[in-house]
Protein backbone atom coordinates (compact mmCIF):
# COMPACT_ATOMS: atom_id res chain seq x y z
CA UNK A 1 0.00 0.00 0.00
CA UNK A 2 2.95 2.36 0.27
CA UNK A 3 2.88 3.08 -3.47
CA UNK A 4 1.42 5.97 -5.46
CA UNK A 5 -2.15 4.67 -5.06
CA UNK A 6 -2.14 5.03 -1.28
CA UNK A 7 -5.16 6.92 0.06
CA UNK A 8 -5.13 7.85 3.73
CA UNK A 9 -8.92 7.62 4.08
CA UNK A 10 -10.64 4.78 2.29
CA UNK A 11 -14.40 4.64 1.84
CA UNK A 12 -16.04 1.21 1.99
CA UNK A 13 -19.47 0.79 0.38
CA UNK A 14 -21.66 -1.80 2.11
CA UNK A 15 -20.95 -4.41 -0.57
CA UNK A 16 -17.17 -4.06 -0.03
CA UNK A 17 -17.27 -4.70 3.73
CA UNK A 18 -15.80 -8.15 4.16
CA UNK A 19 -16.00 -10.25 7.34
CA UNK A 20 -12.25 -9.75 7.83
CA UNK A 21 -12.60 -5.94 7.57
CA UNK A 22 -15.47 -5.94 10.06
CA UNK A 23 -13.52 -8.17 12.47
CA UNK A 24 -10.48 -5.87 12.21
CA UNK A 25 -12.57 -2.76 12.92
CA UNK A 26 -14.47 -4.36 15.80
CA UNK A 27 -11.14 -5.32 17.39
CA UNK A 28 -9.89 -1.74 16.95
CA UNK A 29 -13.16 -0.54 18.53
CA UNK A 30 -12.62 -2.90 21.50
CA UNK A 31 -9.05 -1.66 22.03
CA UNK A 32 -10.14 1.97 21.74
CA UNK A 33 -13.02 1.50 24.19
CA UNK A 34 -10.74 -0.26 26.66
CA UNK A 35 -8.37 2.72 26.56
CA UNK A 36 -10.94 5.54 26.59
CA UNK A 37 -14.26 4.36 28.06
CA UNK A 38 -13.52 3.62 31.72
CA UNK A 39 -17.26 3.85 32.46
CA UNK A 40 -17.91 0.62 30.51
CA UNK A 41 -17.30 -2.77 32.10
CA UNK A 42 -15.95 -5.77 30.17
CA UNK A 43 -19.51 -7.18 30.22
CA UNK A 44 -20.82 -3.90 28.74
CA UNK A 45 -18.30 -4.21 25.91
CA UNK A 46 -19.42 -7.79 25.20
CA UNK A 47 -23.05 -6.62 25.18
CA UNK A 48 -22.36 -3.77 22.75
CA UNK A 49 -20.06 -5.71 20.40
CA UNK A 50 -22.84 -7.22 18.19
CA UNK A 51 -24.40 -3.76 17.78
CA UNK A 52 -21.05 -2.35 16.68
CA UNK A 53 -20.59 -5.18 14.18
CA UNK A 54 -24.06 -4.52 12.76
CA UNK A 55 -23.44 -0.77 12.56
CA UNK A 56 -20.19 -1.27 10.69
CA UNK A 57 -21.87 -3.68 8.28
CA UNK A 58 -24.85 -1.45 7.52
CA UNK A 59 -23.89 2.23 8.00
CA UNK A 60 -24.46 4.50 5.00
CA UNK A 61 -20.82 5.54 5.11
CA UNK A 62 -17.74 3.81 6.47
CA UNK A 63 -14.35 5.48 6.25
CA UNK A 64 -11.14 3.84 7.43
CA UNK A 65 -7.93 5.78 8.07
CA UNK A 66 -4.75 3.85 7.36
CA UNK A 67 -1.10 4.80 7.37
CA UNK A 68 1.19 4.25 4.35
CA UNK A 69 2.20 0.85 5.74
CA UNK A 70 -1.46 -0.24 5.72
CA UNK A 71 -1.97 -0.19 9.50
CA UNK A 72 -5.50 0.81 10.49
CA UNK A 73 -5.45 3.97 12.59
CA UNK A 74 -9.20 4.49 13.00
CA UNK A 75 -12.63 4.50 11.43
CA UNK A 76 -15.81 6.53 11.22
CA UNK A 77 -19.34 5.24 10.56
CA UNK A 78 -21.94 7.66 9.21
CA UNK A 79 -25.71 7.47 8.71
CA UNK A 80 -27.17 10.36 6.75
CA UNK A 81 -26.28 13.50 8.75
CA UNK A 82 -25.06 11.73 11.89
CA UNK A 83 -21.67 10.36 12.87
CA UNK A 84 -22.56 7.06 14.52
CA UNK A 85 -19.04 6.01 15.54
CA UNK A 86 -15.53 7.44 15.52
CA UNK A 87 -12.80 5.29 17.03
CA UNK A 88 -9.02 5.42 16.82
CA UNK A 89 -6.36 2.92 17.81
CA UNK A 90 -5.11 3.95 21.26
CA UNK A 91 -1.60 4.61 19.91
CA UNK A 92 -3.00 6.81 17.10
CA UNK A 93 -4.91 9.26 19.29
CA UNK A 94 -3.90 12.91 19.46
CA UNK A 95 -2.27 12.95 16.03
CA UNK A 96 -5.04 14.56 13.96
CA UNK A 97 -6.59 11.38 12.51
CA UNK A 98 -9.92 11.91 14.26
CA UNK A 99 -10.11 15.41 12.85
CA UNK A 100 -9.32 14.05 9.35
CA UNK A 101 -12.15 11.53 9.63
CA UNK A 102 -14.55 14.19 10.93
CA UNK A 103 -13.58 16.47 8.03
CA UNK A 104 -14.42 13.62 5.64
CA UNK A 105 -17.79 13.16 7.41
CA UNK A 106 -18.48 16.90 7.23
CA UNK A 107 -17.85 16.82 3.48
CA UNK A 108 -20.47 14.06 3.29
CA UNK A 109 -22.96 16.28 5.15
CA UNK A 110 -22.55 15.10 8.76
CA UNK A 111 -23.84 17.62 11.28
CA UNK A 112 -24.71 15.50 14.35
CA UNK A 113 -23.00 13.17 16.81
CA UNK A 114 -23.90 11.60 20.16
CA UNK A 115 -21.38 11.37 23.02
CA UNK A 116 -21.62 9.44 26.27
CA UNK A 117 -21.86 11.96 29.13
CA UNK A 118 -18.96 10.19 30.87
CA UNK A 119 -16.67 10.46 27.82
CA UNK A 120 -15.14 13.82 28.67
CA UNK A 121 -12.28 13.55 26.16
CA UNK A 122 -14.68 12.97 23.25
CA UNK A 123 -16.93 15.81 24.37
CA UNK A 124 -13.93 18.17 24.45
CA UNK A 125 -12.81 16.97 21.02
CA UNK A 126 -16.20 17.59 19.41
CA UNK A 127 -16.56 20.99 21.07
CA UNK A 128 -13.10 21.91 19.77
CA UNK A 129 -14.31 21.00 16.27
CA UNK A 130 -17.32 23.31 16.60
CA UNK A 131 -20.08 21.07 17.91
CA UNK A 132 -22.56 22.26 20.54
CA UNK A 133 -24.97 20.51 22.88
CA UNK A 134 -28.60 20.67 21.74
CA UNK A 135 -30.26 17.82 23.66
CA UNK A 136 -29.69 14.90 26.03
CA UNK A 137 -30.85 11.30 26.02
CA UNK A 138 -29.93 7.77 27.00
CA UNK A 139 -28.84 4.50 25.45
CA UNK A 140 -29.35 1.04 26.87
CA UNK A 141 -26.40 -1.30 27.40
CA UNK A 142 -28.01 -4.44 28.75
CA UNK A 143 -29.71 -3.40 31.98
CA UNK A 144 -27.61 -0.22 32.22
CA UNK A 145 -28.79 3.16 30.94
CA UNK A 146 -26.01 5.49 29.77
CA UNK A 147 -26.51 9.22 29.40
CA UNK A 148 -25.88 10.78 26.00
CA UNK A 149 -25.24 14.29 24.82
CA UNK A 150 -26.69 15.04 21.40
CA UNK A 151 -24.38 17.48 19.61
CA UNK A 152 -24.72 19.40 16.37
CA UNK A 153 -22.22 21.37 14.35
CA UNK A 154 -22.63 25.10 15.00
CA UNK A 155 -23.82 27.23 12.09
CA UNK A 156 -20.83 28.48 10.16
CA UNK A 157 -18.40 25.93 11.65
CA UNK A 158 -16.11 24.24 9.19
CA UNK A 159 -13.98 21.22 9.85
* Cα separation, 143 vs 36, whole angstroms: 21
pLDDT by residue (tens digit) across 15-29?
999 999 999 999 999
Q: Rounded to the nearest 5°, which phi and psi values hold at 84?
A: -90, -30
Annotation: CATH topology of 9-114: Aminopeptidase (3.40.630)
DSSP 146: E
pLDDT by residue (tens digit) across 93-145?
999 999 999 999 999 999 999 999 999 999 999 999 999 999 999 988 777 88
pTM for this one?
A: 0.92
Amino acid sequence: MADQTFKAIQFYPVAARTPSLLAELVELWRESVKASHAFLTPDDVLTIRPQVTNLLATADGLAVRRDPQGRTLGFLALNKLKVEALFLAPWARGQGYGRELMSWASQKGARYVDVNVDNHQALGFYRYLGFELFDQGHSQVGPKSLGLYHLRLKEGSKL
